C-alpha cells in the first residue's frame, strides 16, 4: 500500500524536454490512468517512477519517503509490461513464482500467495501450462499475476492489454478494474487509448508534450476539459474545432452566432459530435451539405459543412441522411466549448 507523489519532475534528452516540471499525487488505493498521445512522455514517467532512469529535477516520494535516487529494487513497485516478457521454458505457475523465488521465499508462502491470486485472475486451470500453450488473454493474466504476487506498494502497467483483440480487451479491462477494487492497491495504468483510460480509472491524468494538461475524475475531464488539447484528445469521434467569427460571413460566422453572447471576440469553438444535430432540408443560416458519412453500425459519423468549416455529428447507425443532402446544423447547449486561440485555455 502506498501513496506516490511526483513533485516538479523534469527530464530531458539531449536538451529536448520529455517531461517538464510535472506534479501528480497518486493516493493510496487509487486507480490512476495516465493518458497521452505517442511521444507525450508517458513511458518516460513510468521509467522514472520505477527508477530505471533518474530525474533531472524534482522529487519522487513513496509514502512520504524520498526515493528520487533510490534503486529500482528499493522502491517496491510491481510492473506489468506491454510485451509480457514471460519465460517460455517455465510453466505459468513458475512464471508467477519467479519474483518470490528470487527473494528466497519459502514454498509454503509461494503456494499461499499464488493460491490467493488464482481465484481473482481465473488461472487455476492453466498453472501447469507453458506460455506457448496459452491464449493471449491467459498469458496476459499470468503476466499480471507475476506482478501482483509480490506484495508491492503500487503496481504500474504500461499498455498491458494493447496487444489483445478488441473483445478480449473489453474483458481484461473489467478484470483489472475488479482486481484493483478487490485488492485495494494503488494502480497506475499508462495507455494511449482514451476510452480505456476513462473506463478503468478513478483519476485520469492527461499528459501532452511533457506536461499534465488536466488531472481529475474521468467524467469531469470529459465534460469539462480545461484546454483545447484535452478536448481534442479525449473523446471519439473527434470534437470539431473551428474559429467562431473567423470570417465576416460564411459558415464559420453563422456557426459562431450559435455561440451567442458567450463568444467574446476571437475564440475557438469546439463542438462535441454527440451535441451536434443535423436536420434534413436545412434552409437557415447554418445550412450545409453532408460531405462524409461513416456508418459504424451502432452509430454513424456524419460530416456537414461548407466554406472550409466542417462539423462532425453522431447520428443513429441507420440514419437516412445521404451524401450531398442539405442539412441545418444546430448544437445542444453544453456541447459547445469555447477556447482562447492563443493559450488554448477554456473560456469560463
Partner 1 sequence: MASVTLEDTSKTFGDFTAVRNINLAINDAEFVAILGPSGCGKSTTMNMIAGIEDVSGGTIRFDGADVTNVPMQNRGVGFVFQNYAIFTHMSVRKNLAFGLEVQGVQQSEINRRVEEMAEFMALSHRIDAPSASLSVNELQKLAIGRSAIVEPSIFLLDEPLSNLDAAFRERMRSDLRQLQRSLNQTMIYVTHDQIEAMGLADRIAVMDQATLQQFDTPENIYSRPENTFVAGFIGAPSMNLVRARIAERDGAMFADLAGREADAVALDDRLSSQARTHGGAALTFGFRPEHLRISDQPDAGTLAAQVVLVELVGRRKLVHFSTGQTRFVGSFDRTVSLRPGEAANVSFDLGKCHLFDPNTGLRLQLGEDD
Which 3 state secondary structure label does DSSP give 283? coil
Q: Based on the shown chain and the rule CB under 8 A, indicate whether residue 161 belongs to the binding site for partner 1.
A: no
Binding mask 31-50 for partner 1 (x = CB under 8 A): ------xx------------
Question: What does DSSP say about strands 203-208 and 31-35: parallel, antiparallel, or unpaired?
Answer: parallel
- In terms of CB distance, is 17 or 37 closer to partner 1? 37
Q: Which stretch binds partner 1 (CB under 8 A): 11-19, 88-96, 195-203, 278-286?
A: 195-203
Which 3 state secondary structure label does DSSP give 43? helix
Query: Which residue, 296, 328, 326, is CA-closest to 314?
Result: 296
Query: Which residue, 251, 231, 234, is CA-closest to 303?
Result: 251
Q: Is 192 left (phi over 0), alpha (psi -120 to 50) or beta?
A: alpha
- In terms of CB distance, is 149 or 176 closer to partner 1? 176
Q: Based on the shown chain and the rule CB under 8 A, indicate whether residue 182 belongs to the binding site for partner 1.
A: no
Binding mask 219-248 for partner 1 (x = CB under 8 A): x--x---------xxxxxxx----------
Question: What does DSSP say about strands 57-62 and 4-13: parallel, antiparallel, or unpaired?
Answer: antiparallel
- In terms of CB distance, is 97 or 175 closer to partner 1? 175
Q: Based on the shown chain and the rule CB under 8 A, indicate whether residue 192 belongs to the binding site for partner 1.
A: yes
Binding mask 257-286 for partner 1 (x = CB under 8 A): ---------------x-x------------
Minimum gap (Å) between residue 277 Cβ and partner 1: 14
Minimum gap (Å) between residue 101 Cβ and partner 1: 33
The span from the CA of 237 to the CA of 246, in Å, is: 24
Could you say which residues in the range 300-339 bind partner 1, by CB under 8 A? Answer: 301, 303, 314, 317-318
Q: At what angle do helices 92-102 and 107-121 cross, to 10 degrees?
A: 130
Which 3 state secondary structure label does DSSP give 219? helix
CA dihedral 251, 253, 255, 261 (to 10 degrees): -170
Cell numbers describing residue 320: 437516412
Q: Based on the shown chain and the rule CB under 8 A, indicate whether residue 294 belongs to the binding site for partner 1.
A: yes
Footprint on this chain of partner 1 (rule: CB under 8 A):
37-38, 165-167, 170, 173-174, 177-178, 192-195, 198-199, 218-219, 222, 232-238, 272, 274, 292, 294-299, 301, 303, 314, 317-318
Amino acid at each position: 500500500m502506498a501513496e506516490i507523489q511526483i513533485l516538479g519532475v523534469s527530464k530531458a534528452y539531449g536538451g529536448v524536454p520529455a517531461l517538464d516540471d510535472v506534479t501528480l499525487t497518486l493516493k493510496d488505493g487509487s486507480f490512476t490512468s495516465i493518458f497521452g498521445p505517442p511521444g507525450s512522455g508517458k513511458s518516460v514517467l513510468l521509467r522514472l517512477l520505477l527508477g530505471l532512469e533518474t530525474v533531472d529535477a524534482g522529487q519522487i516520494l513513496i509514502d512520504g519517503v524520498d526515493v528520487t535516487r533510490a534503486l529500482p529494487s528499493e522502491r517496491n513497485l510491481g510492473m506489468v509490461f506491454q510485451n509480457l516478457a514471460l519465460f517460455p521454458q517455465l510453466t505459468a505457475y513458475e512464471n508467477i513464482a519467479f519474483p518470490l523465488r528470487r527473494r528466497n521465499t519459502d514454498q509454503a508462502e509461494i503456494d499461499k500467495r499464488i493460491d490467493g491470486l488464482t481465484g481473482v485472475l481465473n488461472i487455476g486451470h492453466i498453472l501447469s501450462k507453458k506460455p506457448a500453450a496459452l491464449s493471449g488473454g491467459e498469458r496476459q493474466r499470468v503476466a499480471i499475476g507475476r506482478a501482483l504476487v509480490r506484495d508491492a506498494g503500487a503496481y504500474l502497467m504500461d499498455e498491458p492489454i494493447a496487444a489483445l483483440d478488441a473483445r478480449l480487451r473489453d474483458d481484461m479491462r473489467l478484470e483489472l478494474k475488479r482486481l484493483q477494487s478487490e485488492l485495494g492497491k494503488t494502480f497506475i495504468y499508462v495507455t494511449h487509448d482514451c476510452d480505456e483510460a476513462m473506463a478503468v480509472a478513478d483519476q485520469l491524468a492527461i499528459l501532452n508534450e511533457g506536461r499534465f494538461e488536466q488531472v481529475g475524475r474521468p467524467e469531469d475531464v470529459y465534460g469539462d476539459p480545461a484546454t483545447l488539447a484535452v478536448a481534442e484528445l479525449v473523446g471519439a469521434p473527434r470534437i470539431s474545432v473551428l474559429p467562431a467569427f473567423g470570417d465576416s460571413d460564411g459558415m464559420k460566422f453563422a456557426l459562431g452566432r450559435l455561440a451567442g453572447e458567450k463568444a467574446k471576440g476571437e475564440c475557438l469553438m469546439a463542438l462535441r459530435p454527440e451535441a451536434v444535430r443535423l436536420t434534413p432540408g436545412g434552409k437557415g443560416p447554418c445550412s450545409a451539405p453532408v460531405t462524409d458519412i461513416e456508418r459504424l453500425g451502432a452509430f454513424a459519423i456524419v460530416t456537414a459543412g461548407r466554406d472550409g468549416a466542417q462539423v462532425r455529428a453522431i447520428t443513429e447507425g441507420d440514419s437516412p441522411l445521404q451524401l450531398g443532402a442539405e442539412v441545418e446544423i444546430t448544437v445542444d447547449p453544453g456541447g459547445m466549448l469555447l477556447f482562447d486561440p492563443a493559450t488554448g485555455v477554456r473560456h469560463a
